[in-house]
């Protein structure tokens, strides 16, 4: 994929203006770039911040702080130069151009972190955590990513893998001395050892559904007939006046979305146009068809009924349309006198009031429960990434097969083969043995400069 032998350069700070902007250079020519860019004769002292003029095209263009990290003690494990200049896109581009003239090339997305992985500074789980940490929108997402960056998951996988390594060594030894049969591992104890490891994996995976909700968030569509209070609920959950609220039916015509932190999960709320069968206006009809599209892609539908008015056919149509998927049914405007008793709907209805706030905490909990089958997300899940979860659960399957084979006293080589497969899957998680296309898919999602 990327060539790791040359020197790369990129702006590491986000596009736009800021107090400080950082240019990163990594690779064998980082030192040469430093002396070409810095207006100073003496070489930079390792890991010391040095204030100096920086040059482009022979003239000084800014005063910047340069820090040189010699290999292997740097983010990438290579010679690395960080130039903190003033955060002007014009300046930063000029510095990048100077670096290119001095022998660097523009970095590809994720290439700095890829090099850190390639040089063993971090494993693949940690590299993915870097991306997750940068992209986190809720504190819980950031905490889960930071745990992984710190190596919590990596350590647990290593422990599991060394137990498997030790076991396969004994299985191999038995294979080398076939006359002795299960000499080095007694089949009963082999299967018990394997099942203990399966138990470890299962406990990691127990939380993976919740972890996935934390990492990826979810889409929740708010649906209901006109004037039922969808936009008011949307604003209440979003804590903003993002959606227009009026008592004129058909105010919301397009989808309005907002990412909201609900118990640590990044929930994309979608407010939709009121659903009713009698819409004649072309714009309203388009809004309704978008609302249905949002309903179909949502992870959860919130059906809003108006308790202050009798249920109508539009309500019943919506209840029928959302019947088969995950949904929460709300009886809104419960601050007003009710036009229908909550039991008469024939389904579970949560009484809320968007204007008074009644039932909104229960609604937040209901959303999390519907999405994760847990009532709280509070503590940080160990596994959050679907790629990891899938590989770990395949490893557990392979080990269950191995345990069964050992139990049934099948030849050791079959047991050894399944244990070997489980190890390969664990190594694919940490990146010790990961196909190149998977690596490419992971790192190409990074931003440039990361």
Is the Cβ–Cβ distance between 303 and 330 less than 8 Å?
Answer: yes
Residues in the interface with Mg ion (CB under 5 A) total: 3
Task: Determine the interface stretch with ligand GDP among 93-101, 227-235, 282-290, 366-374 (rule: CB under 6 A).
Answer: 227-235
| 363 Cβ contact list (under 8 Å, min separation 6) | 233, 237, 302, 328, 330, 350, 352
Contact pick of 24, 170, 295, 333 for ligand GDP (by CB under 6 A)? 333
Q: Element (H or E) spanning 437, and its range?
A: helix 436-443
DSSP string for residues in 230-248: HHHHHHHHHTS--S---SS
Residue (174 or 252) nearer to Mg ion, CB: 252
Residue 84 in contact with ligand GDP, rule: CB under 6 A: no
Residue 302 in contact with ligand GDP, rule: CB under 6 A: no
CB of 137 to ligand GDP, least distance (A): 25
Residue 186 in contact with ligand GDP, rule: CB under 6 A: no
Residue 359 in contact with ligand GDP, rule: CB under 6 A: no
Residue 251 in contact with ligand GDP, rule: CB under 6 A: yes
Widest Cα–Cα separation across the chain: 87
Task: Determine the interface stretch with ligand GDP among 21-29, 55-63, 124-132, 224-232 (rule: CB under 6 A).
Answer: 224-232
Is the Cβ–Cβ distance between 197 and 161 less than 8 Å?
Answer: no
Residue 252 in contact with Mg ion, rule: CB under 5 A: yes
Residue (99 or 243) nearer to ligand GDP, CB: 243
Residue 431 contact among ligand GDP, Mg ion, none, beta carbon within 5 to 8 Å by kind: none
283: tokens are: 């714009």
CB of 234 to ligand GDP, least distance (A): 7
Q: How far apart are CA 185 and CA 191, in angstroms?
A: 10
Residue 307 contact among Mg ion, ligand GDP, none, beta carbon within 5 to 8 Å by kind: none
> Taking Cα atoms as reference points, which of 75, 54, 77, 76 lies closest to residue 64?
54
Task: Determine the interface stretch with ligand GDP among 68-76, 92-100, 185-193, 327-335 (rule: CB under 6 A).
Answer: 327-335
x-or-dash string of contact with ligand GDP, 122-151, rule CB under 6 A: ------------------------------
| Cα distances (angstroms) measured from residue 403 to each of 158, 315, 418 | 20, 54, 9
Residues in the interface with ligand GDP (CB under 6 A) total: 21
| 332 Cβ contact list (under 8 Å, min separation 6) | 224, 228, 229, 232, 233, 304, 305, 306, 307, 352, 353, 354
Residue 257 in contact with ligand GDP, rule: CB under 6 A: no
Residue 7 has phi, psi (to 5 degrees) of: -100, 135
Residues at the contact surface with ligand GDP, assessed by CB under 6 A: 224, 226-232, 245-247, 251-252, 274, 332-333, 335-336, 353-355
């Amino acid at each position: 994929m990327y060539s790791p032998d040359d020197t790369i350069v990129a702006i590491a700070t986000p596009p736009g203006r800021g107090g400080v902007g950082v240019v990163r250079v990594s690779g064998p020519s980082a030192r040469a770039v430093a002396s070409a860019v810095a207006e100073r004769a003496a070489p930079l002292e390792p890991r010391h911040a040095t204030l100096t003029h920086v040059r482009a095209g022979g003239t000084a263009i800014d005063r910047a702080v340069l820090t040189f990290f010699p290999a292997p003690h740097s983010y990438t494990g290579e010679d690395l130069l960080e130039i903190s200049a003033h955060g002007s896109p014009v300046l930063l581009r000029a510095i990048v151009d100077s670096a290119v003239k001095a022998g660097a090339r523009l970095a590809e997305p994720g290439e700095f972190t890829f090099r850190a992985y390639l040089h063993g500074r971090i494993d693949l789980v940690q590299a993915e955590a870097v991306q997750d940490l940068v992209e986190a929108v809720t504190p819980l997402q950031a905490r889960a990513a930071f745990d992984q960056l710190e190596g919590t998951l990596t350590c647990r996988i290593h422990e599991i893998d060394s137990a498997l390594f030790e076991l396969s060594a004994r299985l191999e030894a038995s294979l080398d001395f076939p006359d002795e049969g299960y000499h080095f591992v007694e089949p009963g104890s082999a299967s018990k050892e394997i099942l203990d490891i399966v138990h470890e994996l299962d406990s990691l995976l127990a939380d993976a559904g919740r972890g996935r909700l934390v990492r990826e968030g979810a889409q929740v569509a708010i649906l209901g007939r006109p004037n039922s209070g969808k936009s008011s609920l949307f604003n209440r959950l979003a804590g903003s006046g993002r959606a227009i609220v009026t008592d004129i039916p058909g105010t919301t015509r397009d989808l309005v979305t907002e990412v909201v932190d609900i118990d640590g999960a990044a929930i994309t709320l979608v407010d939709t146009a009121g659903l009713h069968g009698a819409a004649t206006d072309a714009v309203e009809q388009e809004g309704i068809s978008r609302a249905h599209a949002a309903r179909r892609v949502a992870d959860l539908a919130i059906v809003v009924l108006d308790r202050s008015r009798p249920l109508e056919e539009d309500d019943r149509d919506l209840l029928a349309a959302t019947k088969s998927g995950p949904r929460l049914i709300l009886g809104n405007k419960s601050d007003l006198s009710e036009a229908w008793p909550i039991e008469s709907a024939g389904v579970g209805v949560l009484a809320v009031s968007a204007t008074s706030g009644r039932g909104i905490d229960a609604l937040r909990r209901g959303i999390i429960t519907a999405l994760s089958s847990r009532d709280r997300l509070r503590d940080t899940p160990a596994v959050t990434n679907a790629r990891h979860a899938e590989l770990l659960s395949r490893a557990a399957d392979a080990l269950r097969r191995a345990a069964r084979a050992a139990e049934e006293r099948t030849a050791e080589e079959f047991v050894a083969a399944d244990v070997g497969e489980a190890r390969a899957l664990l190594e694919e998680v940490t990146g010790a043995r990961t196909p190149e296309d998977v690596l490419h898919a992971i790192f190409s999602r990074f931003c440039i400069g990361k």
